[in-house]
A = this chain, B = another copy of it.
Amino acid sequence: MRFPKLFERLAALAPLPPEEWEKAEAVAREQALDKRELFLRPGDPADRFAVVLQGVFRAVRVSARGQESIKAFRAEGELIGAYAEMLQHLPSMTTIEALAPSRVLVFQTRDFQALESGHVCWERLARRVAEHHFILKERREQEFLDLSAEERLVKFWDEHPHLKGRVPQRDVAAYLGITEVALSRIMSRRRKRPE
């Protein structure tokens, strides 16, 4: 077993026999990425995903108008991939970019489907992952519905303290749905007013 820590993490989500994990490791491939390097770009087939072993990533979507917004940041132990597109068998509309030198463990969805038909544990794990992602998105939806940009910012740092210093400000702005200018203003406002 090359990645016992990762195994623990997954097994906590759903029962996962060690021998099944061994099979998964057998089809996985380690990949190193430089800062700025892309794990996935728009138009690529969404036929693989990965677990972050080290580093940080941002999942970006550029709109028709050319402005880029950030769907998520992903750090150690989290999944990267164009999940929605994968489920719909569409080419990726997402760019996934390393914000720092990183290492990931890559799986082909094809290989994963093979694992799934071998043992039900994978089905259950896939379900858990889907459910977890749903919960995260719903939480975010809630934030857009009833929080101001400033409140979203505060909440963001509350919930992602481990990203401090690892993601540029402009990307935080693009995650919050505002411009970097607005974010800068909010921060200076906070610096002065509510001590």
Contact = CB atoms under 8 A, between A and B. Distances in A.
Interface in A81-117: 83-84, 87-88
A93 B140 CA distance: 15
Given A65-B146, A71-B145, A134-B134, 14 more contacts: A61-B142, A61-B145, A67-B146, A69-B142, A69-B146, A71-B142, A84-B134, A88-B135, A123-B123, A123-B127, A134-B137, A137-B138, A145-B177, A146-B177
Query: Looking at A63, A84, A141, A177, which has the most chain B CB atoms within 10 Å of its CB?
Result: A141
Nearest to A135: B84
Contacts of A71: 138, 141-142, 145
A123 B145 CA distance: 32
B141 A144 contact: yes
A135 to B, nearest CB: 5
A195 to B, nearest CB: 23
Contact of A84 (B69, B83, B120, B138): B138
Interface in A29-79: 61, 63, 65, 67, 69-71
Nearest to A68: B146
A87 B131 contact: yes
B140 A141 contact: yes
Contacts of A88: 135
